[in-house]
Amino acid sequence: MKINAASIARLINGKIEGDIAVEVSSFGKIEEAGHEQLAFLANLKYEDYLYTTKASIVIINDSLELKEPVKATLIRVPDAYSAFAGLLQQYQAMIQDQISGIQQPSYISSSAKLGTGIFVGAFTYIGENAVIGNNVKLHPGVYIGNNVKVGDNTILHPGVKIYFGCVVGNNVTIHAGTVIGGDGFGFAPQGDGLYQKVPQIGNVVIEDNVEIGCNTTIDRATVGSTIIHSGTKLDNLIQIAHNVEIGCNTVIAAQAGVSGSTKVGNNSMIGGQVGIVGHLQIEEGTKINAQSGVTKSVKQKNTAITGSPAYDYTSALRSQAIARNLPQMEKRIAELEKLVQQLLQERVGI
């Protein structure tokens, strides 16, 4: 499908510089894009490619001042990255809308309730009393357990598993291999050294507009709910333990783990490979640097921490600077000790 510059500009509220009739049929990176492709420039590190790109249309920031003429048609917007992302979302939605119907083989319980405009891929299982909203896309191999609820316009990619009783909101995207509602890690130590399993009878609630990456696991609560609040984005390979609560519009990068009953506030940012121990309270707006180990609650809003154990980011940087200078400081101390010894010997000699 082709679309011209005028139509793109209307979609993203942009201003055109160049041929309004030029058409594109696909997307490309500015350094690689070719004829009939659309690219964008947001990072000035790539500005030189703007003057050599073969892309037919390039989205750029309003503030960019050109150093030389550009062959491509330009569309200026306040934020090129956001505008390009919006276009990709619309393009993806158009692709998703093209698939519908129920493929075979698949199993749908007679007590399940399905909305309109849904797609059920082959080898999908939908359990008893499950409720599937309108325009939901269940790609091949999805498992929907008994009494699960899935909201409107949600996309579950291949191999996603939603255990019994869990709730998934509207406009949620869950990528391949993710498991929602597996048992929390609850085992009670016994006097004989063995562990007794604590039944996990709660569920997982995922609110609206959440996106979850591939092979992430979110455990069901022991009692009550593990909750992922609206607007939160989780990367691939993340572990969210039982009874955890992740606040609205929080982002968590890959390989992070949040232990049981910890609560993370709204608008927090958690880097890759961060580990957070259980039963903590992480205040809203907290930023946790990659590979940090969080062992204590963060009680002040908008705090940045790093390290293992994690503490104030600025203090940590100063400590790192001091640590790098330790060899030189050791040498200076040794020289001072030698000088003091010489002075003492001279005084004794006097």
pLDDT tens-digit series, residues 286-303: 999 999 999 999 999 999
pLDDT of 127 reads 98
Q: Is 242 a catalytic residue?
A: yes
Sequence spans of domains, the chain:
3-97, 101-314, 319-349
Q: Ramachandran region of residue 206, left (φ > 0), alpha (ψ -120 to 50) or beta?
A: beta
- Among 82-91, 136-145, 214-223, name the one with the lowest average pLDDT: 82-91
Q: Judge whether residue 349 has pLDDT over 70.
A: no
Reported confidence tier of residue 70, pLDDT bands at 50, 70, 90: very high
pLDDT the model gives residue 319: 78
| Alpha helices in the chain, H assignment, sequence order | 5-12, 47-50, 80-97, 313-324, 326-349
Q: How far apart are CA 222 and CA 206, in angstroms?
A: 16
Q: Does residue 111 carry a pLDDT above 80?
A: yes
Strand partners, 182: 219
Question: Which pLDDT score is estimated for 205?
Answer: 98
Distance CA 192, CA 175 (A): 42
Q: Is the dihedral of CA 243, 244, 249, 253 positive or negative?
A: negative
pLDDT at residue number 79: 97
CATH topology assigned to domain 3-97: 3.40.1390
Share of the chain above pLDDT 90, in %: 83
- Compute the mean pLDDT over every residue in the chain, rounded to the nearest whole number: 94
Pick the CATH number of 101-314 from 2.60.40.1930, 2.160.10.10, 3.65.10.10, 3.40.50.10490: 2.160.10.10
Q: What is the pLDDT of residue 20?
A: 95
pLDDT tens by residue, 14-46: 999 999 999 999 999 999 999 999 999 999 999
What Cα–Cα distance (Å) separates residue 123 from each residue in 108, 158, 296? 10, 10, 45
% residues pLDDT > 70 (the chain): 99
| Residue of 139, 157, 175, 242 marked catalytic | 242
In this prediction, residue 215 carries a pLDDT of 98
Residue-wise pLDDT for 329-345, tens only, equals 888 999 899 889 888 88
Rounded CA separation 233/244 (Å): 15
Q: What is the signed CA dihedral for 323, 325, 326, 329, rounded to 10 degrees?
A: -150
pLDDT at 313 over 90: no
DSSP-assigned letter for residue 298:
B
- pLDDT attached to residue 350: 54
List the single range of 36-50, 84-98, 143-157, 199-213 with lowest mean pLDDT. Answer: 84-98
- C-alpha–C-alpha distance, residues 307 and 293, integer Å: 6
